[in-house]
Structure formats: C-alpha cells, structure tokens
Amino acid sequence: MPGLRRLYAPQRVAVRTDPRGAPATVEGVAVEAVREEWLVEDRWWTPQPLRRHYFEVATADGRALTVFRTARAQRWYRQRA
C-alpha cells in the first residue's frame, strides 16, 4: 500500500562472531557482554518460515543493541524495538 512504512524494520549490520557463534563485534565495536539471547520461530507453516537468533548485547562504547542472525541466509540485522 503506498505510503505505508514499517516501524522497527531490521537494518543490515556487520557482525563478527566468536567460536560459539555469538556476536564479538558489531560494526567494528567490541561486544562487552551478551545480556540475553533467544530464538524466534514464526510462520513455519508457510513456504517462507522465519527463524531468527536474537542477541541483546552491551558494546564497549556503552550502547545496548539488539541484533539477530537469520537461520537460512546467516545474515545479521540490527533491530530497534
């Protein structure tokens, strides 16, 4: 629909991971701590299921960010919510 815009749409972000697969840096800034992580599985009954691994992290410059990795493409996104 023209004029409609998503709020909280995910943005691509560069993330390096540690051996466990958790974020070690987000856009070049070191991750101090992973505060929480969770999995979201949705629309599994459709041809385009959604599976995301979310991490809430605290970065070395003092920000709290929420990032997720898609299961299928293994891409990282940042999400403000």
Partner 1 sequence: MEIACVIDKRLAIPPRPDHAGGPWSGRADLRDPVAAAEATESMVRALEALGAGVESERPGEAFFALDGLCGLYGGSPAGVLAAARGALGEEKAIATGPTRFAAFLAAGAWPRPVPMAALRTRLGGEREAEGLVEARERLGVETVAAFVRLGTDQVADRFGPRGREALRLCRGEEEPLRPRTPHEELSEEIELPEGTAGRQLDRALELLVDRLLAAPRRRGRTLLGLRLGARLAAGGSWSVEQGLGRPSAAPRVLRNVLAPRLEELPGPATTLRLLAVGLGPPAGDQLELAVGGGEPRRRRLGAAVREVRAAQGAEALLKILPVDAASRVPERWAMLTPFPEL
Contacts to partner 1 by CB under 8 A: 3-10, 40, 42, 50, 52, 79-81
Q: In this structure, are residues 55 and 22 in contact, taking their beta carbons and an 8 Å threshold? A: yes
Q: Rounded to the nearest whole angstrom, what is the least distance from the CB of residue 77 to partner 1 in the complex?
A: 10
Tokens of 24: 């070690």
Q: Rounded to the nearest whole angstrom, what is the least distance from the CB of residue 79 to partner 1 in the complex?
A: 6
CB count within 10 Å of CB 23 equals 22
Give the nearer residue to partner 1 in terms of CB position, either 6 or 20. 6
Give the nearer residue to partner 1 in terms of CB position, either 16 or 43. 43
Give the nearer residue to partner 1 in terms of CB position, either 73 or 81. 81
Strands laid side by side in the 29-42 sheet: 11-12, 76-78, 64-70, 50-59, 29-42, 23-26, 15-17
Q: Rounded to the nearest whole angstrom, what is the least distance from the CB of residue 18 to partner 1 in the complex?
A: 25
